[in-house]
Structure 1
Amino acid sequence: MLPCIQHHRPYRQIAVAAFLAAAFCLLPACSRASEEPPPARAAALPFSFDDVKNKAEELASRPFEDPEGQVPDFLLNISYDQWRKIRFRPSEALWRDEGLPFEVQFFHPGLFYNRLVAVNIVDRGQAAKIPFSPSAFEYGDEEFAAKVAGTPLDFAGFRIHYNLNTGKYKDEVAVFLGATYFRAVARDVQYGLSARGLAVDTALQSGEEFPYFREFWIEKPGEDSDSITVHALLDSPSLAGACTFTITPGKETAMDTECVLFLRKDVQKLGIAPLTSMFLYGETENGRQGDYRPEVHDSDGLLVHTGSGEWIWRPLANPERLAVVPFPLENPAGFGLMQRDWVFDHYQDLEARYERRPSLWIEPLGNWGPGRVELVEIPSELEIHDNMVAYWVPEKMAEKGPDGRPVSDVRKYPRKMSFAYRMRWLNPRETLHTIGRAAATRIAAGPRDGSLRFILDFEGGELENLPADAGLTSVVTLDEGARLLEKQLHKNEATGGWRLVLTVAVEPEGAFKTLFPTAPARPLIRLSALLKKGENLPEPLTETWTYDIRP
């Protein structure tokens, strides 16, 4: 059961990423804002997703207008305790009395949420705006409620409910709240990492731009519907866009997504299908002094499936300095931030229950061409920070406008880009392939100064059926600046998998500066490893494990 949004994250910019604030649960309250009847809905108008695309194109043809400031100060300056007292009344949920498989509840603006969003309902091809009504909320303070009742407002976001885990009540399965952030859960898991509609100029010195959703259209489901569709109008100083999400909850919750973008001006870097998560520390750090928990993270690794069929696993790290880690490839088959460790004993946190956080997998629909999956790791000392970001960066931006004119005329019209993908919110126990996986990464000091020892455990696939004398080999590659001193591979009788131990020496910073005196900074050194039955056999038995060493 998901009675509230645990660790629900308000979003704002910190360095080059968003961070999450304190845990957020809607608690019972006593007072109603008003006994007046709610305002009447606006007249319905014909609607299709093309209307959202037309709105986005028209919006991008005009200068950007920031709606920040529409939420009055008395709502933004409330305390966290006041915010917790504001509760949407479940009896006011959309379709509560119609017996439909889905219901929708709404979030109140204020505190962290300083932009209003319009929400429309689409029924049989007709769209009508839902008016904001204070009577749909409980405030816990009559004086405060009366002040809200006299203020024109709209919603901050909404959440979708569905019989996900039991037929007795509708669980919260997805939430859209703050900028272009949204989250979902699969069966038997709880909220963890987030997705975003788009990332703009992430990890650049110029600073990140955070698009936001201006307006939503929610299609009313049928009596037998197992999915619900949400359309959204996206806006930012550099671009506008139209997005549609078809959400199908279940053992895994799928979101079929399409976005069409119209650029107002040049963008240095677009992040497609961005994912945002938290990683404080994992088994690589062997715990943290002063904390009883062995690991603390919403996700523990980035998984990439290349167009050529290779599976790449990169365990996450909480770096001392900002790290931007690219994985160049063409036509990605998928990528995602995964929570691969589902054992409670590895976390020991009865409140956060990190072993129940979902993985999120992105499957491109259509040809995405050349580009790179980019992982951004931001230093963090607190688990309230979302400090891991991953997304796809296309190599080429839109080259022509809607009428085929060259990009030099971008000031006269918006350029157009579009992409589609499926998001799969997965139970951490779910696997995406049948080969062996990199199950654990541990790092220790090596026997020589400047050396490191990597202890890698591979499990699953054929590995468990191979005896200790099977003749497995490891293929290890290192970037320049590092040397492999020793490697050992042996059967791990405790897990049924195999353990690979690598001892690596890294050239000191001074040696690098001597060789490359004009280099601005020493790049990360990538170390990769995989297991095969024999060096001459083409097919690997495992994923390609990678790690990036910062000297």
Structure 2
Amino acid sequence: MTIDLNRRELMLGLGLLGLSGVTGQALAAEGDALRFGEPQPFSFDALVERARAMAAAPYVPEVPAASDTLERIDFDQHWRIRYRADQTLELNDGRAPIRFFHLGRYFKLPVGIHVVENGQARTLRYDPKLFDIPADSPAKELPDDIGFAGFRVLEPGTETDWLAFLGAAYFRTSGEDNQFGMSARALAIDVAMPTPEEFPRFTDFFLEPSADGRLAISCLLNSPRVAGVLRMDVRKGGPIVMDIQARYFARDDIQRFGIAALTSMFWYSETDRGRRVDWRPEVHDSDGLALWTGAGERIWRPLNNPVNVMTSSFTDENPRGFGLLQRDRLFDNYEDDGVFYEKRASVWVEPKGNWGRGAVQLVEIPTDDEIHDNIAAYWLADQSVRRGDAIALDYVLHWANREPYPPRVGEVVATRLGRGGIAGQPRPAGVTKVVVDFDGGLVGALPRDAKGVEAVVSTSRGTLGKADAYSVKVGTAWRTTFDITAEGTDPVELRCYLRQGDTVLTETWAYQFLPLPRPA
């Protein structure tokens, strides 16, 4: 089971190119390779109705043109094809310079690019003269109307891109620290199911100026069992914020219909030192799933790299938010001077309105390297999607260094596992010591000699040892330690938080402990 592994490998490479915009015009000037079709009326509502009509008709599989030639445009060939700086598409008075991706082995199906001005959409026509294509490139053999693979948005006057759409229904930004990492996607359909995962794709993009931000993007989506539209108004200034309207229409039944889907990578962290095979202390785009439930509880679930595919569901009603976060922001904890994991953006989903009953679902897939996206998180409604259903949900994506609404209580800042028992004494077999550090908020404000602080720990199975809670005596952190003994290798669900009397001091640490098999 994988989550579009080739997409990550190629996107990581493309992110290192530093392509960006310089100057250009939204409409073609004389002698310009930017050419547009005739204007057509456009509105979001009309695009939604178009998606509804698409879903009412049978799905027609798409067949890429010149597939054999595109297959020869591998990673190395693809990065050699550069979009011309003097053909940059400028939108919103130069606040959104845009360049386009060429098709290749990993992206064979073209997308329509449409520029919207004053309620009229004009289609951008592909022209090979928009690209600098090496003389020996297979792209020289492609038809003159082959089309575009996607696009990227650039910071004006720089060589830096901060937003990219390339492949299926994926998109991502560079966040606050200008370092690409995890991705979002419109939908996650049948992830980690016995049947193959379905990957909807954006077929058309409608680009227009934003009244309040940099760019408004309407994305037409299609796949065998669903059609839809995603419209996002994108603001940039510190955190990158996307205000999203999602409208979907089902062609057929869908059991696992994941909305507001996030995709990330977790190889290892300080939690599982024994499984490290790399020189760096930690390697991950995200280190945990954060949840803010409809009832107001804050939960932190550290991520795992399991031996088998694991799916965890956190039931809720009208959630206030969830996200895959990178809380660890210290370079010393990664020591990676190439891709800078400490700068990877966290992504927080803020639902708008009531989403009803359902669950935030977390899928963790085994990986043996950092090139694989092996983590998915999304919202799954209680009711399965049936043929003919119409789904409308709105939400906001925050790409930032931390969640946009920090909790009043303390947060989990570290999870560590080791041999159980007492130092200097024989260590009992099959016992694991768990150490959880909390800091900030109410717990961070405690004096070091605070009385009555206790750890509340529970387990789904096995035996817990005595839990201790105490100040670490360095900074403001507090620590809880306890032993867990569990037979077999089935997952153990652990929960822990700190309280003082009736006052809850921290978020709930919710961890899936995976016992290792005992030596024979």
Q: TM-score normalised to the size of structure 2?
A: 0.90
Contact 2:362/2:377 (<8 A) preserved: yes
Write out aligned runs for 1:45-124 (5 A): 45-95=40-90, 99-124=93-118
Partner Cα separation in structure 1 for residue 293 and residue 414 of structure 2: 22
Match of 1:245 in 2: 232
Contact 2:9/2:371 (<8 A) preserved: yes
* Alignment match of 1:254 (pick from 241, 262, 265): 241
- Flag structure 2 segments of 5+ consecutive residues without an equivalent: 20-29, 422-427, 516-520
Question: 1:144: how far off?
Answer: 4.3
CA-to-partner distance for each residue in 1:156-194, whole Å, 9 max, x for gaps? 00111235xxxx537322111100000013332311100
Match of 2:269 in 1: 282
Partner Cα separation in structure 1 for residue 487 and residue 137 of structure 2: 67
Question: 1:427: how far off?
Answer: 1.9
CA-to-partner distance for each residue in 1:193-224, whole Å, 9 max, x for gaps? 000010111111012111101111011357xx
Match of 1:18 in 2: 4
Match of 2:389 in 1: 415
CA-to-partner distance for each residue in 1:435-494, whole Å, 9 max, x for gaps? 210000001122322221111110111323322331211111111x22212211111112
Partner Cα separation in structure 2 for residue 118 and residue 48 of structure 1: 16
* Alignment match of 2:158 (pick from 161, 169, 172): 169
CA-to-partner distance for each residue in 1:9-60, whole Å, 9 max, x for gaps? xxxxxx142222254137599xxxxx98637411101110012111111111
Match of 2:399 in 1: 425
Question: 1:288: how far off?
Answer: 5.2
Partner Cα separation in structure 2 for residue 196 and residue 454 of structure 1: 34
Question: 1:343: how far off?
Answer: 0.1
Secondary structure in structure 2 of the residue aligned to 1:55: helix
Secondary structure in structure 2 of the residue aligned to 1:286: helix
Match of 1:217 in 2: 206
Contact 2:32/2:87 (<8 A) preserved: no
Match of 1:469 in 2: 449
Secondary structure in structure 2 of the residue aligned to 1:197: strand
CA-to-partner distance for each residue in 1:298-342, whole Å, 9 max, x for gaps? 000000000011000000010011111111111111000000000
CA-to-partner distance for each residue in 1:131-159, whole Å, 9 max, x for gaps? 011111111226645423x4421110011
* Alignment match of 1:179 (pick from 168, 189, 201): 168
CA-to-partner distance for each residue in 1:242-279, whole Å, 9 max, x for gaps? 11011101111110111111101111110010100000
Contact 1:101/1:221 (<8 A) preserved: no
Tell me, yes or no, if structure 1 residue 485 matches structure 2 residue 465.
Answer: yes
Tell me, yes or no, if structure 1 residue 194 matches structure 2 residue 186.
Answer: no
Tell me, yes or no, if structure 1 residue 546 matches structure 2 residue 520.
Answer: no
Secondary structure in structure 1 of the residue aligned to 2:125: coil
Query: Structure 2 counterpart of 1:361, which letter?
Result: W
CA-to-partner distance for each residue in 1:326-363, whole Å, 9 max, x for gaps? 11111111000000000000000100100000000001
Query: Structure 2 counterpart of 1:477, which letter?
Result: S
Partner Cα separation in structure 1 for residue 166 and residue 244 of structure 2: 17
* Alignment match of 2:278 (pick from 291, 302, 313): 291
Match of 1:533 in 2: 500
Match of 1:139 in 2: 133
Tell me, yes or no, if structure 1 residue 336 matches structure 2 residue 323.
Answer: yes
User: Is 336-345 or 130-139 further displaced after alignment?
Assistant: 130-139
Contact 2:348/2:404 (<8 A) preserved: no
Sequence identity percentage = 37
1:482 to 1:386, Cα distance in 2 relative to 1, 3 A: same
Query: Structure 2 counterpart of 1:478, which letter?
Result: T
Match of 1:7 in 2: none
- Runs of 4 or more consecutive aligned structure 1 residues displaced over 3 Å after TM superposition: 25-29, 35-40, 142-146, 287-290, 428-431
Contact 1:281/1:287 (<8 A) preserved: no
